[in-house]
């Protein structure tokens, strides 16, 4: 059975997808969702960098910190340029809470258990982010530059998912 950390991440991003049924999130709400989703992965990556003894997990975590920091910088620069203030919303709040819960669940784990839990979460998380981008965030973005940024970063999320799956397949099952 999947633990709470996966469920919270899935629920947070699923709530973003639920907007697809209605009018969709506004650009300020999308900005807050993007920043919250990236920050959750930055925080988990930093924790993994400090806890893992696996060179593959460490390399993946370092890549997550670097890439997601870059996406957040690009998003922040764009919203400042556009004069848009990110607007907290249930999805961005849920993402923040899910990120905090994920960190709390990962912190006590050690060794192979930590590596497995971190990478399993990353696989699920990146799939959910891609689904939210495709089904809600990109279609709902009204500003052409914001939409272009979301489209531009999507391949990186796909690459992260594939990288996470590769690392996942190389890890021993945690006991």
65-74 confidence digits (pLDDT tens) = 999 999 999 8
CA distance 21 to 149: 23
- The model's confidence at residue 3, banded by pLDDT at 50, 70 and 90, is very low
* Phi, psi dihedrals of residue 121, rounded to the nearest 5°: -65, -40
- The residue ranges of every structural domain in the chain are 4-170
Q: What's the mean pLDDT in 56-76?
A: 94
Handedness of CA 168, 171, 173, 175 (dihedral sign): negative
Q: For residue 54, what is the DSSP state? A: -
* Radius of gyration, CA atoms only, the chain: 16
Q: What's the mean pLDDT in 52-66?
A: 96
Q: Which two tokens stand for residue 2?
A: 């999947």
**Looking at the predicted structure, is the pLDDT value of residue 126 above 80?**
yes
- Cβ–Cβ < 8 Å for 87, 35: no
- The model's confidence at residue 173, banded by pLDDT at 50, 70 and 90, is confident
pLDDT of residue 69: 95
Name, in order, each residue with C-beta under 8 angstroms of 103's C-beta and a sequence gap of 6 or more. 43, 44, 47
**Looking at the predicted structure, is the pLDDT value of residue 62 above 50?**
yes
CATH label, 4-170, candidates 1.10.150.120, 1.10.1040.10, 3.30.2130.10, 1.20.1260.10:
1.20.1260.10
pTM of the model: 0.86
Q: Can you tell me whether residue 92 is helix, strand or coil?
A: helix
């Amino acid at each position: 059975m999947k633990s709470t950390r996966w469920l919270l991440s899935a629920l947070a991003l699923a709530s973003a997808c639920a907007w697809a049924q209605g009018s969709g999130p506004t650009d300020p709400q999308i900005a807050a969702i993007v920043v919250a989703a990236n920050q959750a992965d930055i925080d988990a990556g930093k924790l993994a960098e400090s806890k893992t003894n696996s060179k593959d997990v460490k390399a993946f975590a370092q890549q997550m910190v670097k890439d997601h920091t870059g996406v957040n910088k690009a998003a922040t620069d764009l919203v400042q340029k556009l004069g848009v203030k990110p607007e907290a919303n249930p999805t961005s709040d849920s993402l923040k809470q899910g990120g905090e819960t994920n960190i709390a669940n990962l912190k006590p784990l050690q060794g192979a258990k930590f590596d497995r839990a971190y990478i399993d979460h990353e696989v699920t998380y990146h799939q959910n982010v891609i689904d939210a981008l495709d089904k809600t965030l990109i279609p709902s973005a009204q500003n052409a530059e914001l939409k272009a940024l979301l489209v531009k970063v999507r391949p990186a999320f796909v690459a992260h998912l594939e990288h996470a799956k590769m690392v996942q397949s190389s890890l021993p099952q945690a006991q």
